Amino acid sequence: MTNVAFVFPGQASQYVGMANDLYSTRTEVKELFSRANDILGFDLATICFQGPEERLRETDVTQPAVFVHSVAVLLLLAKEGIFPSIVAGHSLGEYSALVAAEAIDFEEALELVRERSCSMLQAGFSNPGAMAAIIGLDAFEVNRLCEISSDRGVVVAANFNAPGQTVISGESDAVRYVGELCREAGAKRVVDLLVSGAFHSPLMADAADRMTPLVADVNWLQPSIPIITNVSATKIQESNILSRDLITQITHSVRWTESMETLVSSGVDLIVEVGPGQVLKGLMRRIARDAKVTCAGTVEEITNLVTLLKEDDR
């Protein structure tokens, strides 16, 4: 039996037309989007399928869109008898991972995602900031440059995405300053990100405060499988730690490289990116080139995955 891990994408994996083929061919996906529309109070399906892209990119839409698409695929994979032995999610994707591990149900998770997206959007208005991807410079050096630049304002290494790809976040002037230092230190590129706030930095403290009582009120269940959290980069199966890490990750770094190293070392045969896009597959090529990774976000990709697993299990 193939030992499968699921990884779930976060913000920036959205695209106009996402989940449309799933919705048009599977009744359970239509029902899922209907439930999502009721919880969110707007027509998520239409924005996902038709855009406009500018609206889909807004945090309060992007996060629910990526989450619901991921859970839709999760449901379809379960109907095919495909279940993970371990899961992880990149930032927002951690909510999808929690659903996959049966730690929280879809409705409560989506309510949290709705509040998280709105709280992070509001925090971005209250404490404006910026993010930039540093390409081609060692993560330790990026982190060091952030630390020595604290007198310029809040700036931190927010996402350790892969070797040679680290995202910094904080006050706009401080992010620009560290970006220049990174260029001088040999970074190949410094790419400003189109985001509504300084995610995974102390500037998101208001959002973390808002989310704390909401996460505490969730009906947490014992996870059926381990979850590698962004904050710990280790396998967690205790609800009290999962709930704590879910809050902490709003203002702290996403330790994705370490998380994926933990995942690969857990002995899985296949890693499946569940949801829209192929961002995490691309990162995995840089983290563990020999790891076997595939994507499941469309009808075609799900069909190919089912065929692949049937062949492997012969």
Q: What is the pLDDT of residues 66-123, one digit of tens each?
A: 999 999 999 999 999 999 999 999 999 999 999 999 999 999 999 999 999 999 999 9
Candidate list 91, 96, 169, 232, residue with the active-site label: 91
Nearest alpha carbon to residue 163 among 287, 9, 254: 287
CB atoms closer than 10 angstroms to residue 290 = 6
Please give the C-alpha separations between residue 38 and each of 28, 90, 111, 174, 203, in angstroms, as whole numbers: 15, 26, 11, 41, 31
91 labelled catalytic: yes
Q: CB–CB of 197/120 below 8 Å?
A: yes
Model pLDDT, residue 312: 73
Candidate list 13, 200, 232, 243, residue with the active-site label: 200
- Residue 290 phi, psi (nearest 5): -85, -10
Strands 227-228 and 235-236: antiparallel
pLDDT digit of tens for each residue in the chain (314 aa)?
789 999 999 999 999 999 999 999 999 999 999 999 999 999 999 999 999 999 999 999 999 999 999 999 999 999 999 999 999 999 999 999 999 999 999 999 999 999 999 999 999 999 999 999 999 999 999 999 999 999 999 999 999 999 999 999 999 999 999 999 999 999 999 999 989 999 999 999 999 999 999 999 999 999 999 999 999 999 999 999 999 999 999 999 999 999 999 999 999 999 999 999 999 999 999 999 999 999 999 999 999 999 999 887 66
Model pLDDT, residue 1: 74
As given in the structure block, the two tokens for residue 123 are: 């925090």
As given in the structure block, the two tokens for residue 109 are: 């998770």
pLDDT tens profile 189-223: 999 998 999 999 999 999 999 999 999 999 999 99
Model pLDDT, residue 314: 65
Residue 48 DSSP class: H
Q: CB–CB of 215/243 below 8 Å?
A: yes
Q: CB–CB of 153/130 below 8 Å?
A: no
Number of H helices, E strands in the chain: 14, 10
